[in-house]
Amino acid sequence: MYASMSYQIALITECLLTYGTAVRALTTMYASMPYQIALCTTFLITHCTAIKAITTMHAFMCYQMPLITECLITHCTDVSALTTMYALMCYQMALSTECLFTYCTAIRAITTM
């Protein structure tokens, strides 16, 4: 009878330990699940943010490229305009010099006449 009682007490203790361990394991599992859900949510938010950042970066690069092209075209047009202006000034100076020579020659011719 004592042996049976000791055996039953050992079984009850083992069942109690197993039950306590199972409850603890379930509690840990439930605690782990919200933690995993939080991690998944964080990863998802990070992933969406990264996609948004990359999309914004591509949009910004696409915006910068027309601006750079426009700046280059404006720069080339300015250089062309300046070159034309210098060429026109040189042409005007040549005309002014020619007019001056013609004027001096005319005065000399009139004086001689």
Length of the chain: 113
- Give residue 94's pLDDT: 87
Q: For residue 93, what is the enclosing H or E element?
A: helix 2-112
Q: In which region does residue 62 sit, left (phi positive, over 0), alpha (psi from -120 to 50) or beta (all else)?
A: alpha
For each successive 10 residues of the chain (113 residues), what is the average pLDDT? 77 84 83 84 89 88 88 89 88 87 87 82
**Distance of alpha carbon 60 from alpha carbon 67, whole angstroms:** 11
* Per-residue pLDDT, 62: 86
Domain ranges of the chain: 1-83
pTM of the model: 0.40
Burial of 40 (0-12, 13-18, 19+ CB in 10 A): exposed
Token pair of 7 as six digits:
């055996």
Q: What's residue 1's pLDDT?
A: 67
pLDDT given at position 20: 83
The Cα angle at residue 102 between residues 96 and 105, in degrees rounded to 5 = 140
What is the distance in angstroms between the CA of the first residue and the CA of the last residue of the chain?
163
Q: Tell me what pLDDT residue 29 has.
A: 82
